[in-house]
Structure 1
Amino acid sequence: MGSKSFKLLLFFSVLFAFNSNANNIAMNTKELLFQTPIIQNVRVPNYGLADPVNYCQSASNPTFTITFQVSNYANLSPSNQFQLFISNDGFVNPPEGIQISNPTISFVTNNGSTTGTYSATFSFPAQSYGNYRVRVKSTTLSSNATSQVISVYDIIFNAQIPLNVTNGNVIICSGSSFTISILENNNPNPSPLAYPYLTYVWRKKNGANFDIIPNETGPNLTVSAAGVYYVEVNYGPVCSSSASPNTFANSVQVTVTVASASDSLQINSQSGETEVCETIGVELYLQDSSGNLVANGSNITWYLNGTVIPNATTNTYTATQGGAYTASLNNGGSSCTISVPPSEAYVLEDITFNATLNVGTPYELELGGNVDAIVTTDAISPSFEWFLNGNVLAETSNTLNINAAGLYTVIVTENSGCVSTIELNLEVIDPSVDEIPNLISPNGDGVNEKFKVPYSLTSANNLNLEIYNSSGQQVFATENYQNTWPENIDEAFQAKAFFYYKMTKDSQVIKEGILTVIK
């Protein structure tokens, strides 16, 4: 081969090698510039992937923040949008999880590299409760990434838990038990039972601490041992009231005391009252011997002068009348009853006033006469209501002029201080007759209107009277005649003028005869 041919071959070889290397460099550069972005490293700031994360969501702490990275972020499509999804079962059901609405996602930094860091701020759905993971997806990428486990507790109930033990003290008999219960919602206060998914932690005092009672996660706890107990909503080890100063979802502490039948109870009032006004009352408290209020929910019975007071079954009772008050508690059957001894009964005297009438009852009017019934009283600012046979009269002073027979009633009210009333009754009778009449004239003139017999016959309320017309038909009969026949004028005049009557007392005939009725 000649020298010229060799030089041409060498030139083309070098040229080919140069072009091939240039093409490789160009291809590598193109691949680097258009490398697909990848979502990665979803985590909670300042926490490692293996660190436990707890989030207490509340009105004062409504949002949560995570960060994530995207490699080659500069290659993201301009139309790209990031999306957040959560799941509490590892994205099993549903596989895509639950999408978070309206998260705030912003670019943070690239730290001088091709990887960009993003921040996402959002709120977990209401009533989130337990362990969750957050997954970041993209509308233009097939990749996604998932965070570490986050314990999320939406503090949906954050108030004192209402119990059936309102005052915090329970007395039980030895060998018996008592169930401490969370009250239903709005009974009368808000309750966590409005949210059935919530669970609870019951605790018992042990020295200076309150230990968790194992396996007690429901709304009730049955206790049979003395101690101090309380319950809190289970918001996890960080968000529960025992750990967080911002969570208040716990109950009062309940002190359980075990007593025997030989122990006793006591009754007290707010200020040691010894008198009671019927319109105000005195609040009485049932306590143990140490002065602790007996718990509502116990089997409580109140007594007044040894008689059971109906429907009085709570640890307080409003007394409105004087007498000796006692009470008892029974938690374990009839063999264990703790009581207020009769000798230690709480005694109240009625606050009242005096009122009397100047005439005695029954009062017999003189024929055609009248009488002033006068009330004398030491009541403060008294008022008076008068009644005749149950019908109210116009008189409102302490004096009533009476000119007709009947049952009179006056109600005296003390209107200052202890507002209370006294009722006085006065029976006014017509003049007595010495003999049983044989003629009456019920014509409305006010004279000889009724078939009146001597008061000695009617006073015992057992005079049996039967009246028959001339045809033998019975027109009137009573076992307690009080000089009232005929009860109306028309009744007598619808029959004939002659009537037969028969009077008996205790099955003994006193008198029988003929009665004439004329106009």
Structure 2
Amino acid sequence: MSIHKVNAQIVIGTPNLGFSQACASESFNTYSTTFVFSPDTVVEASNQFIIEMSDADGDFSNSTVVYTSAAGVITSSPATLNFSIPETTAGENYRIRIKSTAPVATSAGSSAFAAYYKLQDSPFTINNLVSTGAYCTGGSYLLTIDNPGNGTNDSPLNYPSLTYNWYKETGPTTSVFVAEGSSLLVSDEGTYFVETNYGTCTSNSFSNRVTISEAVAGEANATIVSSLGNPYCPEQGLTTLSTIGGNSYQWYKDGELIEGATNQMYQTNESGVFDVIVDLVDCTASGSIDLMSELFNSDINVDDITTIEDGESVDIIITTDAISPEFEWFLNGQLISGANQDTYEASEFGDYKVVITETVGCTGSRELLFTIEEAMDPFPDVAKIPNVISPNGDGINDTWVIPIQYISGTNTEVMIMTNRGKVIMQTNDYLNNWPEEDLNLSNINQVYYYIITTQEGDTKKGSITVVK
């Protein structure tokens, strides 16, 4: 008699994806898959389930393990596993599959999915943030991604694995693909920009727009931008003036040539009119910027409209980083005599303005505006019960306001019903606040009915017409 040993076998179903595409980043990189296996009784205590990820073409020849379970943890079907994609992931046709180790088995590949790890996901600059460029007839203009660019620009060139797609605008919200690469040689007029290639995944990794033109009659516009903005403050340091790319450059200030200023960029901490002439080999371009000092920052502790009760006041406080500031306060266009500090106690209703002037450094003034209005009395002393309201949000007759002998504190019962007798509000603490919610009014005015019963048993009945 012979004995044959039969090895245990298991079948793993095709994994189902818990996502449509994997657009990962440093802040998010967790994806799930669910699969079945049978029979689960043959899974050994040492078994581990493994998730393998294919290459960007769906090929598992050089697959990557993206998850391995602990031994013996997964014993029942179905099972759901979470995994993360590698930082080098970039493509539209990845697949995953499930493998087991004891017994050994492999599932079929999942459906294809787009997957990208967004190493850089913030706006970046091209052309030194200069919004224009020009080329001579028969020539071209080179657009490049800045590295490191201006200011805090996070250049995607710092991540060597990334690729880029250049586009040309065809309308206010449309564009057409032009080419791939970290630079673009342009010989056609238009507005261009570049995006980091994250396929069908949405991303914030895109550049500023640059409009390229062909020089007409031998000259073109050479736009100048200031790295610290315009106006700017010299106390922040030097600002860098940049212009379009060319063969050579010459900078001027207030019409006078600046000796040695012959590069694409020029740094300064002065104000004035700066000009540049750019040699484009077969033609020239010129540009100008009126560079001015930037003003300080200021803030106020009240909203644009502030309400107070009659006889009350509110303390207005100004915070500012202005150097040696001076303050002037105005009410309804008239200077308030003696009000020259960074605080003011306002007790009158009207339109206010405070003018802050910096007297040292970046000299200049800023205005802050606000209005003080009388607060609405939620319990006005009305003479009779109204029978019409218009809850349209204009602050006038928006709620049903009744005489004070029936409101909160009088223990009066207020009941409001629809024209079919359905009670929609019943309270002994009415706050003049009906309706609190949208009544979904049609074009036809709606009628409601009320019953007011006082603590002594006196009753008032009537109707309320709600108009749009």
Work out which of the two has the higher radius of gyration on C-alpha atoms and give 1 or 2: 1
In terms of fraction of residues, the more helix-rich structure is 1
